[in-house]
Structure 1
């Protein structure tokens, strides 16, 4: 009798085990969250699902699931945080906030564009798969199919060397500390005017003066959560173009930024892509 009760209890507990799905990429997850809410693909919907998107990343990290391209998920998360932070800014000084707002709008429009194309590609791929299963394999390999494949495999630029989760956690801790500071600060701080290109230039200036520096030094004395988020985007961009390397010599040790393989390149790819950020 006792064995039957234990077996029944085990079955009851098994019913409540949550198995998170593994998505093909960051766009797949983002589209799932928006469609689950039965929302259109708009800036409002991107803001609405930001917290859920981050929750998935935290859960995957806790369960130590082997994501093939975690950097792509983190990159999209950073963009969502930037878009959401702009949507929450007070509008009492519209002239000062206008430039940052335009940057967020551009970023949101780019994400919306990729999401719409991704959704269309998934729908067409489903139809083609159904035709194949039904034995209707007469469709040819056209430019359209090549475009579908490109959209289904699109991800933001990947990062190498140090585990990007460590960098993400470091910035998350900085944001949490800043949130506590803001709760204890009753004064109204002015909205900081900052662009990704500004932070890139500042990081480059620091590294011109010294070959490496701690990540904490880049955001030292910053009192704005927005500045911390924008700094994260700047580090990702510099890392992508191999202008810098990001390393952590030991577990829980300081995260260091140092000159990368393409530090001395004369090309301006990084800054050219950042002019409007």
Structure 2
């Protein structure tokens, strides 16, 4: 690709402002070309600093870009992403992939049928310290179990206090859950069963997973916990002792830049498989559904 990839952003909320806009603008291989949101004033406010065009509709955005980055609720992404894929546009997708497995399968089908590159923004998977930890634990093997904790107050105040889909749905499970479940799944082997799931009235989740090969793991999630700083930690244990995920935490914008690097490589090499592709998103979507069913 001799020219920068023209990317359109759908949505103009906090994550678009914080990560998508700066990330696409700063990356040498991409250009934030067009913005569309269901609130025209929000789209204009988001687009102006980057001199991006504002589309009057989703179809108009598709006519002006090579790829689409979504910053919208899961149900909206499930509605629009297949249209973008069928139009031949590459995709940057938020997690979870959709509101349910049926919606996720429709996105996967559209991506597979049209041969576009598509990545799920599992932010921490693109962090070098996480990649090094996962590589190490998978190489050693022999792990019998693991633990994860993701405790934060993101739904109590700030940008996401007014996020309707997070507040009305199972907030911590749907928002932080895909990140946390993904890490345990990669570290210990594919999650095959949700043995136990409990959600308290204040959205504190306790989950127990069964992994391929016999390992088990536990996960505690809450986005309504007034802890400062947030508690986000993971560890596995077994015949090699205890291996925590420790060290620095790469900023989301830096992870986003690494994700764009991978997307551009996929486009250039005309390949669709990636550890964070839509098939990964469908697998995580099914685990979320199993956890919801378990309660």
Question: If the length of structure 2 is used for normalisation, what is the TM-score?
Answer: 0.23
Question: If the length of structure 1 is used for normalisation, what is the TM-score?
Answer: 0.24
Bigger Rg over Cα: 1
- Structure with higher helix content: 1
